[in-house]
Structure 1
């Protein structure tokens, strides 16, 4: 064996051992530091109301402990990404096994941040066992006599807002969980963890097709501490939408119309889980039909102008309901800070929502006009920019688990600037989560008024700083070139007859 080969094998072995150590640290910290400390064994009323601070009631000391645990998770995640990027034998299946292990470590945890999974556990039973539509007021938990619905405490009289496919898939655990409240809740967490794994796997496969590293791509998504916290931990179901969205992207970049039709069906499945990724559909249309690109951009900007006119004329067609990306202002983003500072009320928040969509459509128009959109990687990068821009800048309803709308496309495109943005944002997103849970203790002990607002400002400032500074200091030490891979689609050039005395243009 040559010296160079021996050195390569040694580096590969080092990366493999580093990855194993990082994953072991992640899984052990998730299980012993979070899941068993804030577990489903707590009183049902506490579990149903959710929130890590309902169990860890030591005030600032518990806040600091939890913050340090998150720091350990982030450090282990960074090492795992370094090792995956460096490369070792069978890295992709090893990453998928690591995601399954870390997801399993979070299953004993009660919902840590949001009670949505409790509501969802009741909703799928309403859909499957009682034949009612959970997204309608006739199917709310307070109107259904069911052992799980009877335990719902938060948003009890409000419907949920998912699509029919989300309820259908969410019913998969029902034959195995009986009527127990905790068992049904674990069933939804298993579904969420399984689809986090499937999303990471699908993204890795698509990335490989486009010339990227599948192991790094899957690890970036599935070992992300915020994703493990929100999906196998909290049991949210946006990851169902994300999985079908990744499949849709993988098929959309194929040149044949049979594959594109499959991509359209996968995109429809994504929308039937939750609507959000439809916001990136104009990019796919422009990728498929380059000659219509200007018209699609004009339509996006024109729709924004219509919404702006509605805003100017004081016409607000949306109303606040349960927190969601379409109709509400959440406290965990800058729009929520603005709403709180100026005490806007319902009418003012409706205007903010409308204005947010105006900003998004303007940004989408700019992406459609300026982005190359020639290769599969171009489309993945454009989708990452669009969804990231919507959540970071234009969505008053942003909540931290919505990051799954952005992370897969960021990981697939592999642009180091987008990767730094996504990694920094998903890390700093823990700051508002902690502030929301311990805001009273922070205000009393540290004399910081409105700690949630300050945490949002700090999170956004740190994300912007990291996204700007990170790529300039370190590019990640990629072990492979970054080709502009993927099928290329160019509009056909009209063939012109050569004029006399001149050479015909080269084809």
Structure 2
């Protein structure tokens, strides 16, 4: 209980500090022109930032302590689910943290509500309080999200009358359905994949990377992975049509969910009688039919077209070193530019092109290796999802929640859990609270590595810094 309360204190400090240091509104009707507005400027902002990072430290500490107790079988799934619930609640009502994407979601919903096509125009045409808070990067870009999510965004804006604060809270509540789906599906996935339910819930649902970024940052990835996890579980349970239909709904939120579908075809095919090739053909034909029926119905009911598919290219505007091709292209340009003045575009284009070729190859190889279906197909799907996150033209920290959620139900070794703890904490910290990347702040990055290493060690060794003589 003390560990859970430690995490509660942490998320409450994160929410409090976020009022001054998060991805705050340009004009907040709750704080503007009040005696509390100082928290967003000068020393007040510095204090808010310190409070927020203190909260992050407590959450990381609580999560690793909880993980140690789960690993040692001192607590089970009930304790982890309790932690997920109470650690989530304060974040539902905090200002957006580590990202401004939620303002884009709301502005795109307002576009649709006003009769404009969010797949054609960007938020800048609105000139409203919602669009004013959208990051300058996305002001003139169309929405790259599926028709189901556009309906949800439009509904949130309608229900809140275009209010920014109400829209943020309601959108978070909608996205939190994805977390509930994750918590519901992980025990079943662990049963199929050979893992422990409590470990799966701790690794994925209680993970600060998921809670702080996907709830605090309010990303629609959470709804996508929740639907995807449920669909995968249905397929493993033998409910193949329903499973493919639910994963198709996940695709109608965000396109990445499509990566799981070919692997679910293999699971289905392995259970059909007859020759292997014929069974694969039947499963593939049935899956395509279900996908087309569900996706077509969703698109027609939403009143949208396929304009979001070409809009997926807009993410390539992001350049950071979490994307390996972008890192290679950026490094190659920097090295060559030391000797010859050249434009960076060609380096990035070539590196990203090669990354895409490599990604296709990895996906094909993983699919072929998983041809016998069953739990191995899900593991290979998680590996492919990890490759998508690493080799896409643009990568953001919360993209790694995709493979994390798919693979959480596997049987993890102590070394594997330590590695996951390290990278989860590091990915949590490599973005500043206002949404700017920290990947080029070398001193700060060194500190994040130290904190991540401490979390990794703490997972198997109580109190490595000898701050307390007691284990809990």
- What TM-score, normalized to structure 1? 0.68
Shift of 1:405: 0.8
Which of residues 280, 289, 295 is equivalent to 2:269?
289
Q: Is 1:402 aligned with 2:399?
A: yes
> What are the within-5 Å matches in structure 2 for residues 407-418 of structure 1?
407-416=404-413
Is 2:249 the partner of 1:269?
yes
Q: In structure 1, what is the Cα distance between the partners aligned to 2:405 and 2:51?
A: 30
Query: Does 2:197 match 1:214?
Result: yes
Distance 2:449 2:258 in 1: 25
Aligned to 2:185: 202
- 1:491 alignment partner in structure 2: none
> Residue 494 of structure 1 corresponds to which residue in structure 2?
none
1:199 alignment partner, SS class: helix
| 2:33 equivalent in structure 1 | none
Q: Following the alignment from structure 1 to structure 2, what is the Cα–Cα distance between the partners of residues 466 and 410?
A: 24
Task: For residue 431 of structure 1, report the CA deviation from its aligned partner.
Answer: 4.1
Which of 403, 420, 423 aligns to 1:422? It is 420
Alpha-carbon distance in structure 2 between the residues aligned to 1:180 and 1:413: 42
Which of these two proteins has the greater Rg computed from alpha carbons?
1
Determine the structure 1 residue equivalent to 2:228. 245
* In structure 1, C-alpha distance between the alignment counterparts of 2:428 and 2:318, rounded to whole Å: 21
Give the SS at the match of 1:398.
Answer: coil
Map of 1:121-136 to 2, 5 A cutoff? 121-127=106-112, 129-136=113-120
The 1:150–1:368 alpha-carbon spacing in structure 2 relative to 1, beyond 3 Å, is closer
Aligned mates of 2:132, 2:50 — CA distance in 1: 35
Shift in CA distance, 359/104, structure 1 to aligned 2, threshold 3 Å:
same
In 2 relative to 1, CA 173–80 (structure 1 residues): closer, same or farther, beyond 3 Å? farther
Query: Quick check: 1:108 aligned with 2:90?
Result: no
1:185 paired residue among 154, 158, 168: 168
SS in 2 for 1:188: helix
Tell me: CA distance 1:233–1:462, structure 2 relative to 1, closer, same or farther (3 Å): closer
Asked if 1 retains the 8 angstrom alpha-carbon contact of 2:259 and 2:381, the reply is no
- Counterpart in the other structure of 2:61: 75
Greater mean deviation of Cα atoms: 423-432 or 59-68: 59-68
Q: Mean alpha-carbon deviation: is it higher for 450-459 or for 227-236?
A: 450-459
The SS at the match of 2:315 is: coil
| Structure 1 gap segments, 5+ residues each | 1-19, 49-53, 297-317, 443-449, 477-507
Gaps of 5+ in 2: 30-38, 271-275, 282-309, 335-342, 463-472
Q: Secondary structure at the match of 2:190?
A: helix
| Structure with more contact order per residue of length (Cα contacts < 8 Å, sep ≥ 6) | 2
Partner SS state of residue 429, structure 1: helix
Distance 1:363 1:461 in 2: 32
C-alpha separation in 2, matches of 1:475 and 1:371: 36
- Could you tell me which residue of structure 1 aligns to residue 327 of structure 2? 337
Aligned equivalents of 2:206, 2:155: Cα separation in 1: 24
Tell me, in whole angstroms, the C-alpha distance in 2 between the residues paired with 1:177 and 1:412: 37
Alpha carbons of structure 1 residues 84 and 170: separation in structure 2 relative to 1, 3 Å:
farther
CA distance in 1, matches of 2:418, 2:21: 38
Report the TM-score when normalising by structure 2. 0.72
1:144 to 119, 126, 129: 126
Q: What number of residue pairs does the alignment pair up?
A: 405
Shift of 1:240: 1.2
